Structure 1
Amino acid sequence: MADSKAPAIVRPLTVWYNTKCPVCDAGIRHQRSKLLDAVKAGRIEFLDINLQPDALARFGASLDDIRRRLHATDESGRLLVGADVALAIWRRTPRQGWIASLLGAPGVIQLTRFGYDRFADVLFAWNKRKGRW
């Protein structure tokens, strides 16, 4: 008798970011270039939240939430936010997994998240003042 289970759907890591922020856009373009093989294979994708502002509404994430901090859905469909997205990207980037190991280590992850969030707050305020929406 054949196995009736359907194959598991493998989702990519889907990263949502604000292309209107020059810092965010440059950072993602840089990472995407390092992940070109994974992008081509469909294991990771980078999407502009400005083109689909309600894309993460089912998670309760507003457009400003996503403009303030990176958001992503992982392979199992879970939402990642902020520093956790950066760590997920570094884990998949050739020769950058050590960054994720270091900054995601127990006892360090809290500082990583705090530092990321403060930087994101400053960047978000700067973008708002410059009218980058």
Structure 2
Amino acid sequence: MPDPHLTVWYNTRCPVCDAGIDWQRSKLVAAVRAGRIAFKDINETPDALAQFGVSLDDVRRRLHATDQDGRLIVGADVAIAIWRLTASEGWLAAVFGNRVMLPLTRFGYDRFADLLFAWNRRNGRW
């Protein structure tokens, strides 16, 4: 099987992150089976993205992914890449990933991710 077009690293210990990825994965069953996308728990391989200088806490704070060319994608850009692969959600990528909205999308994503990360730390989800 060829390398996935997108390998998404996320934190399964975060109930919000885990539920969101499970929900998204269910929409992408064919893409997962075809090897176009893969979802990986960073807690199983904490140093998986060390070559990029990415720590375990970095991935616990924000989604990270690598594309088929081995480039690192972070945060809102990962969500947009997933939406592009999801037939029913391409419009989300178009709306939130366009030149005008992308800075706002990234800002909103980052603030939400910061709050979620702090909530998970307070609740001992490590």
Would you call these one fold, judging by a TM-score over 0.5? Answer: yes
1:21 is the counterpart of 2:14: yes
Q: Specify whether residues 10 and 52 from structure 1 end up closer, same or farther in structure 2 by C-alpha distance, changes over 3 A only.
A: closer
Greater fraction of residues in helix: 2
User: What TM-score do the two structures reach when normalised by structure 2?
Assistant: 0.97
Secondary structure in structure 1 of the residue aligned to 2:124: coil
Question: What is the aligned partner in structure 1 of residue 53 from structure 2?
Answer: 60
Identical-pair percentage: 70
Q: Which runs of 5+ in 2 are unaligned?
A: none
Secondary structure in structure 1 of the residue aligned to 2:98: coil
The Cα offsets for residues 55-81 of structure 1, whole Å up to 9 and x where unpaired, read as 000000000000000000011110000
Question: What is the aligned partner in structure 1 of residue 42 from structure 2?
Answer: 49
1:99 is the counterpart of 2:92: yes
User: What TM-score do the two structures reach when normalised by structure 1?
Assistant: 0.92
Question: What is the aligned partner in structure 2 of residue 31 from structure 1?
Answer: 24
Paired residue total:
125
Which consecutive segments of 4 or more residues in structure 1 shift more than 2 A?
9-12
Instruction: Provide the C-alpha distance between the structure 1 equivalents of 2:106 and 2:21, rounded to a whole number of angstroms.
Output: 18
Question: What is the aligned partner in structure 2 of residue 6 from structure 1?
Answer: none
Letter in 1 for 2:82: I
Q: Which runs of 5+ in 1 are unaligned?
A: 1-8
